[in-house]
Structure 1
Amino acid sequence: MSKPHLPKGLDPQGYLTREGSLERVQSPFRPVVAAARDGLPDVFGTRLHSAYLYGSIPRGTARVGRSDLDLLVALWEEPGDADRAAARALGEALDREFPEIDGAGTLLYSRTRLLSELERHDLGWFVACLCTPLLGEDLAEHLPRYRPDSLLARETNGDLALLLPRWRERIAAADTDEARRPLVRFMSRHLVRTGFTLVMPHWGGWTSDLTEMAEIFGAYHPTHAEQMNTAAVAGYEPTGDPALLRSYVDDLGPWLAGEYARVHGIKAPRPD
């Protein structure tokens, strides 16, 4: 089988490297990153432990006017409804002020959860490898190093079967192209990443580029390569196509969930 020869995101010892850095933030996005860094302490005060960037902006691949600002915030305590509302308000304010971004979102977790044994190979790995420190103590200093193995695959994306019923409900409730477009974007990206992590231990590395992920997946599962390539395109350029969404929950998604469970097992249950 011919496999793509792509950068593998590993250090010389075979551990996954952190993919982003503040140095990679392109100049059009530096003002919004600075505004987020300045605004987060005002929003959360002493409850803020640390904050991180993730996604295309710290990878240096963001597109002006098309990419969103992705933040992860660690609090000293479990976040509540007021914290989530405050984070949404900050994101909306940043989106209004900076036309360079197309939306801003914040993931909120407690420091305890991010460092918990249950999240060691999911949220912990996410912080250590996919998040770029923006404020406060870097939690990666308390986390292990990671290899692209089956345990990491299982704990990051081994819950697709649980998600599909919720996806069907969201699709049924979306009755316009405008409502469906964000679902296409989110579900396309999720499926491509799940397909990639299905084969990640065999390929032996990491990439966050959806096109590369789909290409790598297709080398191992050629019968589903066209579907995954379509999902990768939709992840970057989403439409409101209802037929595409139906194909995700009626065809590609169920097959992928079953194959994932067969190869890597089911993700450990989470309380939420």
Structure 2
Amino acid sequence: MTTIKEMGRFCPTDHSGNIINDASLLNINPEFSKVIEETIEHYKTHLKDDLHSIYIRGSIPRGLGIEGVSDLDTIALTNKTPQDMDLGWVEKSEHYLNKKYKCVGGVEFSFYSIDEVLENNDFSIIPFMIKTHSVCVYGEDVRVHLPEYKADTTLGNEHLVNLKRQIDQAKEDLDGNDDKQDIVDCCRWIMKIIVRAGLALVIDKESKYTRDLYPAYTLFAKHYPEKEPEMKQALHYAVNPVENPDEVLAFLEGMGSWMKKEAEKWLDVHNTKKEWNL
């Protein structure tokens, strides 16, 4: 069982309130170097001229990677739309890398066209992640061409407008499921969503943002002390997911239902039209 550590931090901001990207190649611990290098080679070998650039996002490029726990999350920008490319190799490559490198919890490939990222005028999570939480490890870095982002209701909406659908999807996926690994993956996924949604509920009051789970939990607990035990349980499930679907479903019926109601209240104030992207 992984111990919940009081680690992570809120995103730094400049004098205008814009989020500062604190990811850097210099922050990457040496134990992750080989898996990063080989992941880049898999992208280059299979995508060839369709590959524009590669980014690493999340805890590892921010110096917060935990050996054997943190995932290597990657984003590839491509010169074609992913739908027009042969990506049949991805599952095999992920399986190979996950088996070879135990220094990471898992390797994730993802693909987005360069045009999709640069030409989107509404808020979109991938340009946001590239701009504020990622470091370029191959190709031309497009971050200078992306807009600035603040810790505001536009960002909060990203975590709340789809929350009901995500919780309902998790419940559907867990109901009658006997695939232990699938249950664990679903548990980790939905609990991370719930913890980050907890921060989003108070983002208009605090003007702070983080993808890190512990500080997100603490900020939520500051405003909702009566729900602190339930959110701490969500944090525990995110770090130590369980194989029992009934246990997760019971939590989603309780705390999950409460979160859906609170998200609706927030949207009634900040996004009355329930638009996906503000």
TM-score (norm 2): 0.86
> CA–CA distance in 1 between the matches of 2:29 and 2:122?
31
Q: Is the 8 A contact 1:121 1:152 kept in 2?
A: no
Deviation at 1:80, TM superposition (A): 2.7
Deviation at 1:83, TM superposition (A): 4.0
> CA–CA distance in 2 between the matches of 1:65 and 1:24?
17
> CA–CA distance in 2 between the matches of 1:163 and 1:116?
27
Q: Using the TM superposition, name which of 257-266 and 210-219 deviates more.
A: 257-266
Superposed counterparts of 1:255-266, under 5 Å: 255-263=258-266, 264-265=270-271
2:72 partner letter = L
2:275 partner letter = A
> CA–CA distance in 1 between the matches of 2:27 and 2:76?
20
Superposed counterparts of 1:78-227, under 5 Å: 78-80=81-83, 83-117=86-120, 119-227=122-230
**2:52 aligned with 1:49, yes or no?**
yes
* CA shift digits 1:165-188 (9 cap, x unpaired): 321221115225443211111111
Q: Is the 8 A contact 1:122 1:156 kept in 2?
A: no
> CA–CA distance in 2 between the matches of 1:193 and 1:119?
21
Deviation at 1:39, TM superposition (A): 2.5
> CA–CA distance in 2 between the matches of 1:116 and 1:248?
40
Count residues with an aligned counterpart.
Answer: 265
2:95 partner letter = E
**What is aligned with 1:268?**
275
Deviation at 1:267, TM superposition (A): 5.6
> CA–CA distance in 2 between the matches of 1:184 and 1:178?
10
1:113 partner letter = E
SS in 2 for 1:74: strand
**What is aligned with 1:231?**
234
Identity %: 23
> CA–CA distance in 2 between the matches of 1:166 and 1:232?
19
Distance change in 2, residues 1:83/1:61 (3 Å): farther
Q: Using the TM superposition, name which of 84-93 and 29-38 deviates more.
A: 84-93
Q: Using the TM superposition, name which of 57-66 and 241-250 deviates more.
A: 241-250
> CA–CA distance in 2 between the matches of 1:205 and 1:227?
22
1:256 partner letter = M
> CA–CA distance in 2 between the matches of 1:202 and 1:61?
27
> CA–CA distance in 1 between the matches of 2:276 and 2:10?
33
Distance change in 2, residues 1:8/1:44 (3 Å): closer
Deviation at 1:105, TM superposition (A): 1.0
2:30 to 22, 27, 31: 27
**What is aligned with 1:242?**
245
2:190 partner letter = M
Deviation at 1:110, TM superposition (A): 1.4
Q: Is the 8 A contact 2:161 2:276 kept in 1?
A: no
> CA–CA distance in 1 between the matches of 2:64 and 2:262?
31
1:268 partner letter = E
**What is aligned with 1:38?**
41
RMSD over aligned CA atoms reads 2.3
Deviation at 1:87, TM superposition (A): 2.6
* CA shift digits 1:180-229 (9 cap, x unpaired): 21111111111111111221232222222211110111111122211111
Deviation at 1:243, TM superposition (A): 4.0
SS in 1 for 2:112: strand
* CA shift digits 1:116-154 (9 cap, x unpaired): 435534222122112221212222222111111111211
TM-score (norm 1): 0.88
